[in-house]
Structure 1
Amino acid sequence: MPPGRETWWPPLGAALLGAAIILLIWGPGVVPPWRTGWMLSGQVGPDPVQYWLGWAFFRDDAWRWPPGLNPRYGMELSSSVFYADAIPLLAFLFKALWPLAPVDQYWGLWLVACGALQALFAALAVRRLGGGALAQVAAGGLMALSPLLINRLGGHFALGGQWLVLAGLWLWWAPPTRGRPWGWAALAAATALIHSYILPMVLALWLADAWRRRAWLEAPLVPGAALAALWLAGFFVLAEGHGTAGYGQMQMDLLAPLDRGPWGSLLPDIRSAEHPEANSSYLGLGGLVLAGCALLRPWRRGAWPLAAVLGAMLAFAVSHRVMLGGRLLLEVPLPPALLEMAGALRASERYWWPMAYALMLAGAGGLAARLGPRRAGWALLALLGLQAWDLRPAYARIAHFFPPTEARLPLRLGDPEWRRLAAQASAIRLVPAMNQGPLWEEVAVLAATAGRPTDATYLARTDPAAAAALGEAVLARLRAGEPEPGVLHVLRNAAALEAARAGLPGRLRRLDGVWLIAPIPPGPPAPTYGHEERRPPP
């Protein structure tokens, strides 16, 4: 379609279709902001509980600097709303709006927005690749119906921001303008405020575009915008705990894109790698056919930078441990220091996403080039229908994890005495301190409901040494019979119970099968968290 005849209704129609797809699969019950039961039921696992807790403590706390600090969630172990995976971009927005429009949860709105934005940017990219109106709408619907997206919106909500990758690909194919550097800077900053795993993908796409345009003067602007956003979100407040030894353990099997796993129904089941990220790279049968259509698009010399960064991210996804059908084909020795650095992005299979989306978009462009804009639209509509038919198991899977749930759920620690003790306490400790572990959900939700700080946490990254030191310090105080005044201590294991029996046998109580030490009145102010001493420079 000539630029002068471009209209906005096809991208808008695609966005509406993408939102409708999410609503049809998840149901409208997740959207109302006052409905938190579906997040706290535990049906999906601990992650939605983590997101809600990070937001609940953050919204009830005063604004700090940097604004992402969240000291009441974790106390000495706390870091920021960033590490609670609570999508800092939305947390900042809804905290600012809280006095005017209280929102108990915004993840239902986020799910729908991800479907809409996924389809919108896919449609905009297909427009640049020569697709007509129907092609834009159908391609947008197919991208919104991708198992790559559905899988992540089934629990890892922030990783549903895959539309950021599509936005980067759209910027690659969009005609150059004076505002292009600012578009990349805005995209990089938004990505940094959504999820750190997607940020390197977007920065790699920007690097390809800057390489093609020889726009090296943008180097301070775009990465600088991302770093500033990370600082605002509280990313740098955690000094230790980023790197791990996990790289190469959650890599992409070479057959993973063909492995239908629990999502598809039309292809035969095949074996691929077995790890927590397995079964997450399938494109759907419609998506696979569309990706294959990329061969119909003529190669252009200027595409080398994009091909290079996509190939590099694919290699990172496959890792140094090359798997085929669940069997190790090759292992390339890497220095331990490099493995530890790569471990910060240990779930490397996710770095298949940019290549997958680029191939599908190029496939839409290939159909437009071979069939013409109108007939390509009908072909894409047929592929959308094939995708919808193939993914029937996916709909049942999501329905299982997101069943109709009451708007609000009662506390799992149901004895009314818990509320009374929490109201008396200045803080609630779960002994010994650790990231996750037994009872963290029950105690953290109790603390959030009572408006009390707690060290019962689940964070994406923590400092293991700090957690171990805190756990031992609290155990030592209990053994000595000197618990912190005003603090409710909940004992999560035998070591904590043994320490309490040694130093405070007369103060032990049991509620709902859980041992505790009631706060010693009167309760003074909550303990100092030490963030003033640990804040990093801007």
Structure 2
Amino acid sequence: MDFSLSKMKLNKSITTLIIFTIFLTILSIFSFKLVGMPIIICLIFSLILFIYEKNKEVNYPSWLTLLLGALLGSIFFISIFGWKILNPTYVDWLFTNVDSAQTYIGWHFFQHESWHFPPGQIDNLGYPIKTTIMFTNALPLFGMFFKIFKDLLPHDFQYIGIWILTCYILQGSIGALLIKKITPKISLQLISSIFFIVSPVMLFRGYFHQTLMGQWVLLFAILLIFERKTFPFWRWLFVIAASIYIIPYLLFCVGPFMVAHLFMLYRNSESSVSLKKAVGYLAGIMIATLFLLWIVGFFLISDGGVTEAYGLFSMNLNSLINPWYWSSDLLLNRPWSSPGQYEGFAYLGAGLILLSLIGIYIVIAKKRTFNKIIHWYPFIIVCIGLTILALTNTVTFDDKILLHINIGEWLQHKLGIFRSSGRLFWIVYYVIIFLILYVIIKKNRLSIAFALLIGASFIQYYDLHKKFNEINQIYSQDIVYQTPLQSDFWDYAKEKYNKLLFVPFFGDYWVPFSYYAASNKMAISIGYFSRADNVALGEYAGKIIDDVNNDRLDPDAVYIVSNEFLPHIMHINFKNATLMKVDGFNVLLPNKDDTSKKRFSNVESITRDKPNNLFPSFYIWDRDKNANVINGKQLSNNKVMNNFEISTTTINVTKGQRYTIEVQVSSENSSGIGAYIDINDISSDGTKVYKVGSEVVVNGVAKLSYVVPDNVSKIQVGLILPPQTKGKYIFSNPVIYQN
């Protein structure tokens, strides 16, 4: 290297940059401490490389760009996440939130089951409906691979730590390759890659949903569109496969980009892609996509896992500039119109916002033009389309609704497959970052571009460093997961029983019970799923309730009864089952042998006064457009305040006494607001006066407490459904008791 200062202009330029970089480096050391290591290394090495290649024509091989980007990504991972989570037997940290637990438990079931058909199927989770490794967000990309070696792996094995490291390696290396499309200067490639590596959208998922950190797939898709001569079929197929096997939302981002790329090549006269080839490529990828989706179990869920939640997790128009508590006091937080808009979080960071303003000035004030932009119109259309889908039909800015478009019930339902629609903006987000860096690098002299990038990278890092420290502190903790299932009863149960059935389906404590079931190769009737066959789950929930009500217990199942449902089974005289409380949980246990409660620790007997029956024990209400049917019989149009009165009963009461009424409500394929209980006072002359109603319930226990006034000796209790409610409802175990 020749660092001689023979040219005064070069001398001043380099000297200024050296002083500026040293200043930023020292400032980084004192400001960021340990988490500042990536920016410190990046600044120093970028400066060294810049000095070396300042006046040289360089053409570094791509592997060097990949290596430097990968190293910078690795350094950032270590500085933020540390080493502990790379230990594959350290699983405790994954139980700190429900989403991480969902990922691990899904894999834990998948690991300890035999292979099924299709290969991604899981039989024991959400029994007997079944689920898949895809719908437990368990990262099929790694899960399918590691299951091949399941007999060699430790009993408790996790790959999420390795996954996060892999993501940062690829985020850095592919990000650097993207900048190589702009400039051959490796100093600019290195300093620019830091903006992809410290992406708030990616790091945000470090709190939960770590599978969603695989955003390098989006960068890879953007990289592929620069191929202008031939269609890189196998590389696109890899991107499609990777997106499916990470999380399908990524497929919805990269798929349209692939189609736009194919269309652009077909329209390009210099391309070798003819109409025949284009159709062949598209057909091949579509067939491969369907096959890959089948392997991972996507088609096990009816209606593609469509939900009714389109619009709940949308993007706000302020997303690019709203730090949402990620800024270190440089930008103010802005409100959202709904809590679910965190899924549209797309904060650029103060450094990139500054560069974007500079870029806009360069384009407008200096009249820079982009003559070739017309060639990219397929991607512009795709980006606009994905942005519209992310915003949904309700467009918001801050907490204000700017526009709402009624798209009809059918389309609203079908778009439910994009429940977390805000994520569809992610690939547009990275396109915006690339365009900002393109303008800064391409439309400025090398030294100015370098100075702007190192200055903005420091501002970016400073803006986000408090979150870096916060996440570092979270991952630095020594987490020890303590299951609430401490009784030796559970050791007995895993030897004698092979199922855990919940009465009714309730989500509390699904983590410890699911972990227990997976560890002991037991089936469990609940779970936490990204998509599920809710109709089938509802039907099975009703079956479990019906079996318990009629003492038809599965001899191989342990029944876990919710506190709300417990009063409804206290009056049942089970012929061969024991009702007890184990570690605070209500357990209904079919007797296999001597199950005396005294032999187990942390076990209590359950005693309670027998409640009075209220209504007949079981109702099935099924309503469509033409009929209202209860227990198979036509329901008369007896209405109370325009509501359907499913059943009423009159009871004698004691003045001043508090009564509690409960009814178990289960719904199947239902719509509307649900069912509730109401009470009418009956005066001495028979006049009925409405007094109070319970909360509306779709699935759960409708519960109402009422203190009888002094002048009332009778009340009428009604089971009510509003007129807009449709579908099938099951009402069971109505009881009343005095408090």
- What is the TM-score with the length of structure 2 in the denominator? 0.66
> After superposition, where does 1:370-519 map in structure 2 within 5 Å?
370-372=443-445, 375-399=448-472, 401-406=474-479, 409-433=481-505, 437-495=507-565, 498-499=568-569, 501-504=571-574, 507-519=578-590
**C-alpha RMSD over aligned residues:** 2.4
In the alignment, is residue 153 of structure 1 matched against residue 200 of structure 2? no
Deviations 1:64-96 (A, max 9, x none): 121101111122132211100001111011111
> After superposition, where does 1:42-441 map in structure 2 within 5 Å?
42=96, 45-102=97-154, 104-130=157-183, 132-177=185-230, 180-214=232-266, 215=273, 216-217=278-279, 218-240=281-303, 242-265=305-328, 266-278=330-342, 280-292=345-357, 295=360, 296=363, 298-299=369-370, 300=372, 301-372=374-445, 375-399=448-472, 401-406=474-479, 409-433=481-505, 437-441=507-511
Which one has a larger percent helix, Structure 1 or Structure 2? 1
Q: Cα distance 1:98–1:384, how it changes in 2: closer, same or farther (>3 A)? A: farther
Deviations 1:348-391 (A, max 9, x none): 22122122111111222222212245653443233222111001
Asked if the contact 2:350/2:463 (under 8 Å) is kept, the reply is yes
Asked if the contact 2:86/2:162 (under 8 Å) is kept, the reply is yes
Aligned counterparts of 1:221 and 1:373: Cα–Cα separation in 2: 44
Q: Cα distance 1:298–1:476, how it changes in 2: closer, same or farther (>3 A)? A: same
Aligned counterparts of 2:301 and 2:488: Cα–Cα separation in 1: 37
In the alignment, is residue 15 of structure 1 matched against residue 70 of structure 2? yes
Identity across aligned pairs (percent)? 23
Cα deviation, residue 401, structure 1: 4.6
* Matched residue SS, 2:320: helix
Structure whose alpha-carbon radius of gyration is higher:
2
State the one-letter code of the partner of 2:439: G
* Matched residue SS, 2:581: strand
Cα deviation, residue 409, structure 1: 2.7
Asked if the contact 1:430/1:456 (under 8 Å) is kept, the reply is yes
Aligned counterparts of 2:405 and 2:359: Cα–Cα separation in 1: 31
Q: Tell which deviates more after alignment, 513-522 or 395-404.
A: 395-404
State the one-letter code of the partner of 2:312: Q
Deviations 1:398-457 (A, max 9, x none): 246545124x533221222222222321222222235xx122112111212222121231
Aligned counterparts of 1:298 and 1:12: Cα–Cα separation in 2: 34
Q: Cα distance 1:483–1:243, how it changes in 2: closer, same or farther (>3 A)? A: same
In the alignment, is residue 29 of structure 1 matched against residue 80 of structure 2? no
Q: Tell which deviates more after alignment, 211-220 or 56-65.
A: 211-220
Q: Tell which deviates more after alignment, 296-305 or 498-507.
A: 498-507
* Residue ranges of structure 2 left out of the alignment (5+ in a row): 1-55, 267-272, 594-739
Deviations 1:126-174 (A, max 9, x none): 1012252122222222211011101123211121111111110000124
Q: Cα distance 1:488–1:108, how it changes in 2: closer, same or farther (>3 A)? A: same
Asked if the contact 2:314/2:340 (under 8 Å) is kept, the reply is no
* Matched residue SS, 1:151: helix
State the one-letter code of the partner of 1:245: E
Asked if the contact 2:79/2:472 (under 8 Å) is kept, the reply is no
Aligned counterparts of 2:451 and 2:492: Cα–Cα separation in 1: 64
Aligned counterparts of 1:290 and 1:204: Cα–Cα separation in 2: 28
Cα deviation, residue 480, structure 1: 1.6
Q: Tell which deviates more after alignment, 392-401 or 255-264.
A: 392-401
Aligned counterparts of 1:497 and 1:349: Cα–Cα separation in 2: 43
Q: Cα distance 1:251–1:119, how it changes in 2: closer, same or farther (>3 A)? A: same
Cα deviation, residue 477, structure 1: 1.3
Deviations 1:303-344 (A, max 9, x none): 111111111111111121111121001111212111111111
Work out the number of aligned pairs and report it.
Answer: 516
Asked if the contact 2:499/2:557 (under 8 Å) is kept, the reply is yes
State the one-letter code of the partner of 1:430: F
Q: Tell which deviates more after alignment, 237-246 or 119-128.
A: 237-246
Q: Tell which deviates more after alignment, 29-38 or 274-283.
A: 274-283
Q: Tell which deviates more after alignment, 142-151 or 12-21.
A: 12-21
Asked if the contact 1:83/1:460 (under 8 Å) is kept, the reply is yes
Q: Tell which deviates more after alignment, 244-253 or 158-167.
A: 244-253
State the one-letter code of the partner of 2:139: I
Asked if the contact 2:486/2:583 (under 8 Å) is kept, the reply is yes
What is aligned with 1:6?
61
Aligned counterparts of 2:450 and 2:288: Cα–Cα separation in 1: 38
Aligned counterparts of 1:379 and 1:313: Cα–Cα separation in 2: 31
What is aligned with 1:534?
none
* Matched residue SS, 1:476: helix
Aligned counterparts of 1:150 and 1:7: Cα–Cα separation in 2: 26
* Residue ranges of structure 1 left out of the alignment (5+ in a row): 523-538
* Matched residue SS, 1:137: helix
State the one-letter code of the partner of 1:277: Q
Q: Cα distance 1:379–1:222, how it changes in 2: closer, same or farther (>3 A)? A: farther
State the one-letter code of the partner of 2:308: A
Larger RCO (CA under 8 A, 6+ residues apart): 1
Asked if the contact 2:316/2:391 (under 8 Å) is kept, the reply is yes
Q: Cα distance 1:238–1:320, how it changes in 2: closer, same or farther (>3 A)? A: same
Aligned counterparts of 2:412 and 2:215: Cα–Cα separation in 1: 26
